[in-house]
Amino acid sequence: MTLLSRSFVLPKRTKSNKRTGLSPTLAILLFMVAYPIFSLVYYSFLNFSALRQGAMKPMGLKNYKFLLSDPELWERFVFTGKFVALCVSAQMLIGIFILWRVGAWYAEHRRINAGRMPASTALLFDKRTTLTALAVLTILTLTKNAYMAGLSSYYTFYLIHKFGVAVQDSQLLLFVYLGASAVGVFLGGPLGDRFGVKFVIWFSIVGVLPFTLALPYADLNWTVILTILIGLIFSSAFSAIVVFAQELMPGRVGMIAGIFFGFAFGAGGIAAAALGALADVTGIEYVFWLISFLPLAGLLTVFLPKMQNTVH
């Protein structure tokens, strides 16, 4: 083993350095999850409105008294409770069936591969290239989820404020956008298998840029069309980002998936809170104009190394 190769061998993992190495990551993820929750509780005691600018005044428990004295609130609780009970029951049954099938497959997989050597955990690239690629993927995850969180959190307010859309219609258009995003997440995997994950990252993050830049200047009809395209294209990036990071760190599939999923949700929560505070000061239209430039970070994809085994 040469001196150069020895410098990139990962240290032996023990319980103590595992805990030490994960502590900063867990602290950051805890902050990213806790901060949005505490922000929501804080705003609940103020006369906060995403559509109104100006200083916020303390309201004490008036917001809670108003909500709890509204008879429609309890009717919605009952309706929502029935809906949640039905959905959760269905999800649990579907989850049990899927886990049962996965467990049977995994038992057979372990039986077949019982005599084989474990997969190598050696890095595919040198340490500097790997760290640079992980940093780029982290930035892409941050900007993507910041934009998606801003759009999904304030899309209804944007439609109401700019176009005078009714609340019910704005929620329906939000549902259409979220549906397109779900389809995009699903399509990201097959497209990555067909064309390679780096191509999907290029296409989904940079390819969506013309649509995000045009959104603040579009009328209502084009706004609906553009948000559908944005949700469909932009959402396909995340699965490709996670797969690319897992290929950079062989043998650490669970760790990479956990870190990137946790960071994605935490970053989205913080971004939503920060953009809400910014909207109070500058207005919702300015926020939508500002976040339209976030996909420019996709140009950093040029620093990702070429994977020879990403195309199947």
| Structure confidence by residue, pLDDT tens digits, 198-222 | 888 888 888 899 999 999 999 999 9
Using alpha carbons only, how large is the chain's radius of gyration in Å?
23
Average pLDDT, the chain: 83
Give 151's contacts (C-beta < 8 A, 6+ positions apart): 177, 227, 230, 231, 288, 291
| Structure confidence by residue, pLDDT tens digits, 155-186 | 999 999 999 999 889 999 999 999 999 898 88
Length of the chain: 312
Asked if 223 and 163 touch (Cβ cutoff 8 Å), the reply is yes
Asked if 137 and 277 touch (Cβ cutoff 8 Å), the reply is no
Phi, psi of 117 (to 5 degrees): -75, 145
Share of the chain above pLDDT 90, in %: 25
At 87 the three-state DSSP class reads helix
Give 106-122 as a DSSP string: HHHHHHHTTTSPPPP--
User: Which tokens sit at 156?
Assistant: 């209804």
Mean pLDDT: which of 19-23, 120-124, 205-209 is highest?
Answer: 205-209
For the domain bounded by 122-306, which CATH number is listed? 1.20.1250.20
Helix axes 167-195, 127-163, angle to 10 degrees: 150
What mean pLDDT is predicted for residues 116-124?
Answer: 70
User: Which tokens sit at 228?
Assistant: 């559908």
Q: Is the pLDDT of residue 291 over 90?
A: yes
User: Which tokens sit at 12?
Assistant: 């032996």
